[in-house]
A and B are shown apart, each in its own frame.
Chain A
Amino acid sequence: MSKASTKKTEKNVEDLSYEEALAELDQVVSALESEQSQLEDAIRLFERGQALAARCGVLLEAAELKVKQVVGDEVSAFEAESE
C-alpha cells in the first residue's frame, strides 16, 4: 500500500458511505500499527483516521431506516402506516 496509491483513492470523507469509511479506517489503523511510517505520514494517517471515525459516528447517529417497496417492476418509496 504505497503512499501514492492511498493518496490517489483518498476521497473526501463526507462522500464516503459507512462501509467505505469503516473499511478505510481499518486500513489506516492497520497501516499505522504495522508500517514503519514516516512521522509526517503517520500524522496525516492519524488525522485521516480521526476524520473517518468521526464520519462513521455521524452516519451511525443519523442513520434512518430506508424503506422502499417493489410492486411489479416498480420500486417506490414505502409510506409506513402511522401507529
Chain B
Amino acid sequence: MQPSLFPTPLSQGGQTFTVSKLTFHLRKLLEEDEILQDVWVQGEISNLSRPASGHIYFTLKDANASLKCVMWKTSAARLNLPLRDGMAVEVHGKIGVYEPQGQYQLYADQIRAVGEGALYQEFMRLKAMLEAEGLFDADRKKNIPELPRKIGIVTSATGAALRDMLNTLRRRLPLVEVLLAPSPVQGTEAPPALVKAINMLDDQQLDVIIIARGGGSIEDLWAFNDERVVRTVADAMTPIICGVGHETDFTLCDFAADLRAPTPTAAAELATQITILDLQAEVQTYKARLASSTFNLIAEQKALLSALAAQLRYLSPTRLIQSERQRVDELTRRAFMSIAYRVNLQKNHLEGIQKRLEALSPLAVLARGYAVVTRKDDGGVVSRVAQAKPGQQIRVRVVDGQFDAEVSE
C-alpha cells in the first residue's frame, strides 16, 4: 500500500471551524432555544463563591450532573435568600456559553428555596379558582370610611406590626377606638385562628378591620393564602384593609380584601384618611363661619336700624313744626305786604281829598284880592251894606292875615 500524502478524511463534506466560530455557533444554538432562555433548575448549591465584584458564582448539582451558575451583582442585590453550600434551591435564568473556557452555564436572575415553586403553583391555582368564583370582583369591594370611630385589628399581639399600627393611629387619629383580636399569623394554627378573629371583629359593629402581618418569606405569609382565611375576608360585612408583608408581597387576602395596603403601617394610614389635623382645620373653618355669619347678621341689623332711624327722623314732628313755622313766616310777610298796600292806598286817597278841599277853600278867593269882613262884636259876616253902620268896629280878613277897621260912612 502506498502511503498517502494526506490523511484520509474521516467524513466527506464536513466544514472546518475555528474554535471561536464553533463556540459562537454553539452559543447561538443555545440562545435560540426558548426553553433554555427561561428555565427553573432545581439542585443543590456547591462551590459557592462571592468575590468582591458582587457577582455570585456557584455550581448547581444533583446526583448525576452539575451546572455552572453565575448571578450578576444586579440580580444578586435583589436576592433575599441567604445562600450556602448544600442548600437545595431552584434557580431561574438562561443558559449561555462562556466562550474563553468553552463552558455552558446558567446566568441566574432569581433563586428560591425548594418548595416555593410548589407553593407558588398552589397560590396560582387557588387564585384562579377564587377569582373565577368572583371573590375578588371589584363590585364586591366595600368603601373604606374616611373617618372611622372604631377600628378592628387582627394581628399578632406581640409583633412589631401591631406597635407600628398603633403608633400610626395614635399619631393620625387618636379619637379612634381600637379593638384588637390577637391571632397567630403563621403556622398551622394561624388560619383557623385568623378566621375566628376576623369573624369576631365582624360582629362588633366596627367601621373597618385591618388584617396585618410584618414581612417574611412566602411560607411565613402562607396563612394569608389559606382558602378559609381568604373566604372569610371576602365574606366579611365590615370593610377590610389587608396589610400583610412588604411592598412586593401579594397574598390572596390582598385580593379578597376591600383595600390592599403595602405594609401594616400603610394599612393604618389608609384606615385614617382624615387625620386629626384635618379635623382641627375643619373646626377652625366652622369657627370662622360662625363668627362671620354672626357678624354679618349684626351688620345687617345695624344697617336696618340706621335705615329705620333715618325714616324716624324724616317722620319726626320737629320737621312738621319747622314747616309750620315757615308757613307762619310766609303768612306774616304777606300780611305786612297787604297792610302796606292798603295804607298807601288810603294815603293817596287822602291826598286827593286834601287837594279838592284846598281848591274849595275861601282863602283861595282871598288870594285873588277879595276880603272877608266880620263884625268885631258878634263876629257876624258883613256881606251887605245894610249890615254895617258908621263907627262900627269891623275885622277885615285878607289872604295872609287880618286887620281891624272902623266903618266911616
| Inter-chain contact A78/B290, CB cutoff 8 Å | no
Q: Which residue on chain A has the smallest CB distance to residue B170?
A: A65
| Inter-chain contact B286/A32, CB cutoff 8 Å | no
Minimum CB–CB distance from A50 to chain B (whole Å) comes to: 7
B204 CB within 8 Å of chain A: yes
Decide: A65 near B169, CB < 8 A? Known: A32-B297, A81-B158: yes
Provide the residues of chain A in CB contact with B200, threshold 8 Å.
70
Provide the residues of chain A in CB contact with B291, threshold 8 Å.
46
A29 CA to B285 CA, complexed, in Å: 10
- Near A by CB (< 8 A), chain B positions 159-198 give 162-163, 166, 169-170, 174-182
| Inter-chain contact B179/A68, CB cutoff 8 Å | yes
Decide: A69 near B182, CB < 8 A? Known: A46-B290, A81-B158: yes
Decide: A32 near B290, CB < 8 A? Known: A69-B157, A69-B182: yes
Contact with A along B242-276 (1 / 0, CB 8 A): 00000000000000000000000000000000001
| Inter-chain contact B204/A46, CB cutoff 8 Å | no
| Inter-chain contact B201/A70, CB cutoff 8 Å | yes
Q: Which residue on chain B has the smallest CB distance to residue A19?
A: B149
A78 CA to B162 CA, complexed, in Å: 12
A42 CA to B181 CA, complexed, in Å: 49
| Inter-chain contact B180/A29, CB cutoff 8 Å | no
| Inter-chain contact A32/B301, CB cutoff 8 Å | no
A26 CA to B287 CA, complexed, in Å: 10
- Near B by CB (< 8 A), chain A positions 25-74 give 25-26, 28-29, 32-33, 37, 39, 42-43, 45-46, 49-50, 53, 56-57, 59-60, 63-71
| Inter-chain contact A29/B178, CB cutoff 8 Å | no
B8 CB within 8 Å of chain A: no
| Inter-chain contact A70/B204, CB cutoff 8 Å | yes
Residue from the list A26, A37, A63 in contact with B175, Cβ < 8 A: A63
Q: Which residue on chain B has the smallest CB distance to residue A34?
A: B293
Minimum CB–CB distance from A16 to chain B (whole Å) comes to: 13
A80 CB within 8 Å of chain B: yes
A45 CA to B162 CA, complexed, in Å: 44
| Inter-chain contact B179/A69, CB cutoff 8 Å | yes
Minimum CB–CB distance from A60 to chain B (whole Å) comes to: 6
| Inter-chain contact B163/A22, CB cutoff 8 Å | no
B87 CB within 8 Å of chain A: no
Minimum CB–CB distance from A19 to chain B (whole Å) comes to: 7
A42 CA to B302 CA, complexed, in Å: 14
Provide the residues of chain A in CB contact with B176, threshold 8 Å.
65-66
Interface size on A, as a range, is: 35 or more
A83 CB within 8 Å of chain B: yes
Provide the residues of chain B in CB contact with A22, threshold 8 Å.
279, 282-283, 286
| Inter-chain contact B289/A65, CB cutoff 8 Å | no
Decide: A46 near B294, CB < 8 A? Known: A25-B286, A67-B166, A69-B180: yes
A45 CA to B298 CA, complexed, in Å: 13
| Inter-chain contact B178/A67, CB cutoff 8 Å | yes
A42 CA to B301 CA, complexed, in Å: 11
Interface core residue of B170, B177, B291, B297 (most chain A CB under 10 Å)? B297
Provide the residues of chain B in CB contact with A1, threshold 8 Å.
none
Provide the residues of chain B in CB contact with A4, threshold 8 Å.
none
Provide the residues of chain B in CB contact with A42, threshold 8 Å.
294, 297-298
| Inter-chain contact B301/A75, CB cutoff 8 Å | no
Minimum CB–CB distance from B385 to chain A (whole Å) comes to: 118
Minimum CB–CB distance from A39 to chain B (whole Å) comes to: 5
A66 CA to B204 CA, complexed, in Å: 15
Q: Which residue on chain A has the smallest CB distance to residue B204?
A: A70
| Inter-chain contact B286/A26, CB cutoff 8 Å | yes
Q: Which residue on chain A has the smallest CB distance to residue B172?
A: A65
Residue from the list B180, B283, B298 in contact with A78, Cβ < 8 A: B180
Residue from the list B149, B287, B301 in contact with A53, Cβ < 8 A: B287
| Inter-chain contact A57/B179, CB cutoff 8 Å | no
Provide the residues of chain B in CB contact with A43, threshold 8 Å.
294
User: Which residues of A approach B to under 8 Å, CB–CB?
Assistant: 18-19, 22, 25-26, 28-29, 32-33, 37, 39, 42-43, 45-46, 49-50, 53, 56-57, 59-60, 63-71, 75, 78, 80-81, 83
User: Which residues of B approach A to under 8 Å, CB–CB?
Assistant: 149, 157-158, 162-163, 166, 169-170, 174-182, 200-201, 204, 276, 279-280, 282-283, 286-287, 289-291, 293-294, 297-298, 301
Q: Could you list 8 examples of A-B contacts with CB < 8 Å? A: A25-B283, A28-B290, A33-B293, A45-B294, A56-B286, A60-B276, A71-B181, A75-B179
